[in-house]
Structure 1
Amino acid sequence: MNPATAFARVLVDEMVRGGVTDAVVAPGSRSAPVALALADAETAGRLRLHVRIDERTAAFLALGLARAAGRPVPVLTTSGTATAHLHAAVLEAAASGVPLLALTADRPPELRSTGANQTIEQPGLYGGAVRWAVDVGVPEAGREAAQNRYWRSVVAKALLVARGDVSGDPGPVHLNLGLREPLLPDDGTPGTPAPLPSGDLAGRPDGAPWTVAAPGAGAPPALVGTAGRTLVVAGDAPAALGRAAAAAADRHGWPVLAEPSSGAWGAAGAVRGAALLLAAPDWLAAHRPERVVVVGRPTLSRPVSALLADPAVRVETVAATPRWADPGRGSAVVGAGRPGTDDAGPSDEAWVADWSAAATRVGGAVDAELDDPAHGLTAARLARDVVAALPAGALLVVGSSTPVRDVDRLAVPRGDLTVLANRGVAGIDGTISTAVGAALAHPGGGPAFALMGDLTFLHDLTGLLTGEGEAVPDLTVVVPDNDGGGIFAQLEPGQPQHASSYRRVFGTPHGRDLVAVARALGWAATAVDEPGQLPAALAAGGPRVVVVRTDAAADAALAVRLREVAAAALGQA
């Protein structure tokens, strides 16, 4: 057995023994030994393999799988520029705490810096974005026993670090795999891994996965009760953390301002349309909290950011990992689950009731405005209606930009949905692939849905390509199509003084029929023009794309109108 094949089989065997159930491959020559070992493992029923022609798509598919399943997923590329296409997904995994394994095949050291084909300096390629990176070294003949032990220990450590078992801070890991020719098996025995090493391996008994039980790792936050006017702000976070925070808030009776992907969105005290309440200055002045407990990474709302920057508010951050969100540098306390004290007296029940009543009034006013026939099926109404129409147990992946903000402001929070979003770095790239991966790994096994803008959809069209023999997701992608970057119409670039350059530089109209585009890539596709058509389109099953034509200028005007009706409902007209 040649060294490259021996290494690849041990690598894959140890990943499977360490809990890997899915792997993603983008085709290439230098990565052939590992790709073939993964294929053999799938044939043996040891894992599920996914193949994509585009490395960026492959990486975001792996990200979606890892995010939904909560366990490491490797993505394999060949050498050279292919490795660079993983970087965006690695950055998102780093910021979101997703256990992504970047496996990059490489030329051996003697070919680096020589002008050899498809060769770049890959060690350290992802810089500080990875929790750990190692240039594994080139397999050599005659050193099988020692190398076998080393290879297994490297893979075991990579899985531990990616899962955050030691640090409590999961995230991406980079293994750079230098390989010399021959690259194809020469022993005629596909899929046979090298035997396990004899003796103890890094403290692990032979035959058992290498695990570390770190004290306190993964412990849920035990939020401490304190002064009467306390809010919980829950940003994007692992679902278990958000659920634990929601349960603690419920015990204390605190309102929860939860982003859709926080895991706390369906909390008993979740406040619908919190950003609209916080944007009403007079109401907020009368109902400002004394204390805000931050869990996860809130990024969606300027009013929430302003609240956290308010010097009159004590901000306490629950840090479940060594990384926490405090962009305003205003946290008075950062604690591992227990900020604050218990000495400030009972909750202010009347204040809590005011928050609940205000959210109800604003919700009713918003619904009435969205349902006004004069508006038709807008992007804002679509966000609310999609969330309301999904079956219990469904998965919803929400694209960055306008859709996730519309869901956050306008939809009724639901605890019976799994909601995911790439909010670590909040890019629009790779969203289709992330949704496909999440759909294939959805723990509930129910149908999956994604809501994303037209530019987000077009940015990742290759995510729709499912090759022969690949798993097909039960995924319905809903696209509000306003022919460009509609969010900019609601921000500063959409102001009249920028009108001369807005359309080309910010609006970026694409002029494409997205139904035809989706069908050309093999997906069923439907155009929805009326609100009443939406439930049937969502119930038709996937893989499917549902396109709803909207108007960016009208959506921007409606956003202003919704703020006005919310203020009126709060008595600030």
Structure 2
Amino acid sequence: MTTTDSVEPSAATARLLVTTLVAQGVRDVVLAPGSRSAPFAYAAHEAEQAGWWRLHVRLDERGAGFFALGLARATGQPVPVITTSGTAVANLHPAVLEAAHAGVPLVVVSADRPHEWRGTGANQTTDQVRLFSSAVRFDADIPAGVPAGRGLAQIVTRALAAARGVRSAHPGPVQLNVSFADPLTPAHAWQPGPRPEVHEVVSPLSSPSAAPISPGPRTVVVAGDGAGPAARSLAEQGRWPVLAEPTSGARAGECAIGPYRLLLDVPELAARVQRVIVTGRPTLSRPVSALLARTDVEVVVVSPGGLWPDVAGSAERVLPAVRAAGLPSAADEEWLALWKRAGTAVEAALDEHVSGRPLEGLGVAREIWRAGGAEALMIGSSNPIRDLDLAATPGESAPARVLANRGLAGIDGTIATATGLAQGFASPVRAYLGDLTFLHDASSLMRGRLEAESDLQVVVLDDSGGGIFATLEHGEAGRAAHFARLFGTPQDVDMAALAGAYGVRYTRVANSGELRAALAAPLRGRSLVHIPVDGSALRESRRELEAASRAAVRASL
């Protein structure tokens, strides 16, 4: 399989690392080109030629990191991203931080200069060791010329086990910093042979038993990002309302309450909550944060391992898994019915609000939620994810898998992540972004001439700046003089020309009918759907919706 005799040390190290990665189930690798990482580039390419894995080459390291993150989220497997030395490694930091907080198995493989060059003024040489500090679950500094044997393979084994969280239930990014000395090019090509059989070296810990949650208190289940279908099952077992974020994987079924944020704004309903079971990581709404901070509510956090979400320090119990104990009572059924009536009333208010206005965020989000044709829906931070949280009416099942970079909720790398999702799922993906999120990562629309095409539709709500700030305290009338420059930051960009420069199909949308037609078109290749809207009255519009929703909830009680 791999013979290291009379092979240059750098080539032997790279080949062994590639072999070990493949033997432990890695099937995708991302490469950002560079000279110091050349031994990895040759080995990764030759392994691809042998059918061992797929190699994806990306020009920009920041985009490469988020692309790898998207691949890892789609496949559920660790994905290495290979860079050269110097600033190339630092450009991965945003993706590493997102992976750390979202629990994604991203594997940084950073090529380095020989360690004796550090601190000497050598070109493109810096201290890359532990560059990512506490963000990584494991890191190793591998010197140039280390023997390519079992000891080196064991380092890779430990890195992948940490990335998967098999011993900690706390997956996340890892770093392998590998120094290479000259020569960086192998004298002879590598013939990898048949792909190694997958060998599970480290077995995962056994699943914890589920702790019983007794009936009695008026309970809601909060399903944050990544909660998964278990949150829906728990709610249906207990007959409890589930307040599920779009990326929870639990926003479906008869217990899911769509516009829950607006319901929590009504004290007459929210004050009746006696217990909250938190699953996943809630990140979207201040009403949920206020609920979890209340001193008169019992908070139970379900977290399988690692850190658990408890910003207010209110958790009375933190459990790895739970189940509803006993049979639901008539009081439980009445409690669920109360929330469902209130939710239906607010959805009617939402319908009336959206139908009486020109196209804006809530209407766009509703159309995107209803549209089919995509394996996954990638949602940008700021207003798009919050609009979807209000407008997405739960059904028996979600129309697509909904994902977002909610680890740190940044706007960077969203297009790159969506592209990685499209390659990982090998199916069409739709992304819904604001204009600033789009422009921040527009270069990720670029596709190398020799790289595979992605079926990705990017839908951009263009309200000429950071609309979310208009809904916060920064958008108050007394701060209007400086709002546009400091927070709105409107940009003048010809979106059609930008799309054309990257070889992306462009469609401009002016109304709901045109939007529905654009969403119904086949998702083939890369396309941009551009929706310019007037965001000047957004703050007032949302205040009107909140008032109408409060009235609707009170009438339903």
- TM-score w.r.t. the length of structure 2 is 0.94
Shift of 1:151: 1.8
**For 1:71, what is the secondary structure of its paired residue?**
coil
- 1:506 equivalent among 487, 494, 515: 487
- The alpha-carbon deviation at position 44 of structure 1 amounts to 1.3
Q: 1:210 aligns with which of 200, 203, 210?
A: 200
Deviation of residue 538 (structure 1)? Answer: 1.5
Distance in 2 separating the partners of 1:176 and 1:7: 12
Q: Determine if contact 2:508/2:531 at 8 Å carries over to the other structure.
A: yes
Stretches of structure 1 lacking an aligned partner (at least 5 in a row): 197-205
Distance 1:220 1:463, change over 3 A: farther
Kindly provide the amino acid, as one letter, of the partner of residue 389 in structure 1: A
- Structure 2 contact 362–390 (Cα < 8 Å) conserved: no
Q: SS of the counterpart of 2:536? A: helix
Query: Which whole-Å deviations, capped at 9, do the CAs of 1:256-287 have from their partners, x for residues lacking one?
Result: 001111111224311110001001223323xx
* 1: CA distance, partners of 2:33 / 2:433: 28
Q: Matches of 1:415 and 1:343 in 2, distance apart? A: 27
- Distance between the aligned counterparts of 2:427 and 2:141, measured in 1? 40
Partner of 2:137: 131
Which runs of 5 or more residues in structure 2 are unaligned? Answer: 1-6
Distance 1:42 1:183 in 2: 19
- Listed as ranges, the matches of 1:148-163 within 5 Å are 148-163=149-164
Partner residue in 2 for 1:494: 475
Matched, 1:109 2:115: yes
Do 1:228 and 1:344's aligned partners in 2 also have CA atoms closer than 8 Å? Answer: no
2:300 is paired with a residue whose SS is strand
Q: Does 1:406 align with 2:387?
A: yes
Matches of 2:555 and 2:91, distance apart in 1? 50
| Mapped partners of 2:209, 2:24: distance in 1 | 24
Deviation at 1:224, TM superposition (A): 2.6
| Counterpart residue identity of residue 95, structure 1 | H
**Is residue 547 of structure 2 the alignment partner of residue 561 of structure 1?**
no
* 1:163-212 Cα shifts (integer Å, max 9, x gaps): 111111110011101110100111x233448x99xxxxxxxxx9651333
Tell me which amino acid in the other structure corresponds to 2:335: W
TM-fit CA distance, 1:327: 0.5
- The secondary structure found in structure 1 opposite 2:250 is coil
| Cα deviation code 1:115-158 (max 9, x no counterpart) | 11101110010000000011022225xx4xxx321221111221
Matches of 2:430 and 2:254 in 1, distance apart? Answer: 24
Residue number in structure 1 paired with 2:3: none
Please, which of 446, 449, 460 is the counterpart of residue 479 of structure 1? 460
Paired with 2:61 and 2:180, the residues of 1 have a C-alpha distance of: 19
SS where residue 213 of structure 2 aligns? coil
Tell me the secondary structure at the aligned position of residue 336 of structure 2. Answer: helix
Q: Distance in 1 between matches of 2:189 and 2:301?
A: 55
Q: What code does the residue aligned with 1:274 have?
A: Y
Counterpart CA distance in 1 for 2:508 and 2:387 is 21
When residues 249 and 168 of structure 1 are mapped into structure 2, their CA distance, relative to the original with a 3 A threshold, is same
Asked if residue 321 in structure 1 is aligned to residue 305 in structure 2, the reply is yes
Change in Cα spacing, 1:536 to 1:339, as seen in structure 2 (3 Å) is: closer
CA distance in 1, matches of 2:198, 2:24: 9
Corresponding residue to 2:443 among 446, 456, 462: 462
Aligned partner of 1:52 in structure 2 is 58
Partner of 2:4: none
SS in 1 for 2:149: helix
Structure 2 residue aligned with 1:203: none
Query: Quick one: which of 509, 530, 534 aligns to 1:547?
Result: 530
Give the distance between the partners of 1:341 and 1:376, measured in 2 at CA. Answer: 48
Q: Which residue matches 1:306?
A: 290
Mapped to 1, the partners of 2:366 and 2:181 lie a distance apart of 55
Q: Indicate the residue corresponding to 1:167 in structure 2.
A: 168
Q: Which residue of 2 aligns with 1:364?
A: 348
Asked whether the equivalents of residues 226 and 347 of structure 1 are also in contact (C-alpha less than 8 Å), the reply is: no
Q: Report whether the alignment pairs 1:231 with 2:214.
A: no
Counterparts of 1:436 and 1:57 in 2: how far apart (Å)?
A: 10
- What pairs up with 1:31-50 in 2 under 5 angstroms? 31-50=37-56
- CA shift for structure 1 position 18: 0.8
Q: Aligned residue for 1:389?
A: 371
| Corresponding residue for residue 350 of structure 1 | 334
For the pair 1:189 / 2:189, whether they are aligned, the reply is: yes
Alignment partner, residue 254 of structure 2: 268
Aligned partner of 2:263 in structure 1 is: 277
In the alignment, is the contact (CA less than 8 A) between 2:210 and 2:323 conserved in 1? no
d(CA) in 2 for partners of 1:512, 1:403? 20
2:13 & 2:439 partners in 1: Cα distance?
39
Q: Between the two proteins, what is the percent identity of the paired residues? A: 46
CA separation of 1:176 and 1:183: change in aligned 2, threshold 3 A? same
Map of 1:534 onto structure 2:
515
Match of 1:254 in 2: 240
- What corresponds to 1:200 in structure 2? none
Instruction: Pick the aligned partner of 2:230 from 219, 244, 249.
Output: 244
* 1:517 maps to which of 487, 491, 498: 498
Distance 1:344 1:268 in 2: 15
Tell me the distance in 2 between the aligned counterparts of 1:246 and 1:65. 26
Partner deviation per Cα, 1:298-322 (whole Å, 9 max, x = no partner): 0100001101111111000001112
Offset of residue 338 of structure 1: 3.2
CA-based RMSD: 2.1
Structure-1 separation of matches of 2:201 and 2:538? 51
1:345 CA displacement = 7.1
- Does the alignment pair 1:72 with 2:81? no
Would you say how many aligned residue pairs link Structure 1 and Structure 2? Answer: 546
The TM-score with structure 1 as length reference comes to 0.91
Structure 1 327/3 Cα, relative in aligned 2: closer, same or farther at 3 Å?
same
Structure 2 counterpart of 1:492, one-letter code: E
Whether the 8 Å CA contact 1:220–1:245 is kept in 2: the answer is: no
Q: 1:278 is matched by which residue type in structure 2?
A: L
- How far the C-alpha of 1:379 sits from its partner, in A, is 1.5
Contact 1:362–1:566 (CA under 8 A) maintained in structure 2: yes
Q: Is the 8 A contact 1:227 1:346 kept in 2?
A: no
Preserved CA contact (<8 Å) 1:14 1:152: yes
SS of the residue 1:231 aligns to: strand
Q: Distance in 2 between matches of 1:477 and 1:177?
A: 37
Displacement of 1:228 in angstroms is 4.2
Distance in 1 between residues matched to 2:197 and 2:252, nearest whole Å: 42
1:552, CA displacement in angstroms? 2.0
CA shift in 2, pair 1:166/1:482, >3 Å: same
1:477 maps to a residue whose letter is V
- The alignment partner of 1:49 has SS state of strand
1:467-501 deviation per Cα after TM superposition (whole angstroms, max 9, x unaligned):
01212111111000011111111111111111111
Please list the CA deviations of residues 501-553 of structure 1 after superposition, one character each: whole Å capped at 9, or x if unmatched: 11111111111122321221111010000100112212322411101011222
Residues 434-460 of structure 1, C-alpha deviations (whole Å, 9 max, x = no match): 000011112xx5421010111100111
Aligned partner letter, 2:61: E
- Partners of 1:220 and 1:244 within 8 A in 2: no
Displacement of 1:347 in angstroms is: 5.0
Paired position in structure 1 for 2:32: 26
- State whether residues 58 and 433 of structure 1, in contact with CA within 8 Å, keep that contact through their aligned partners in structure 2: yes
> How far off is 1:340 after superposition?
9.2
Q: How far apart, CA to CA, are the structure 2 residues paired with 1:338 and 1:360?
A: 29
- Taking the aligned partners of 1:8 and 1:28, their CA distance within structure 2 comes to 15
SS of residue in 2 equivalent to 1:215: coil
2:422 to 439, 447, 455: 439
Aligned partner of 2:554 in structure 1 is 571
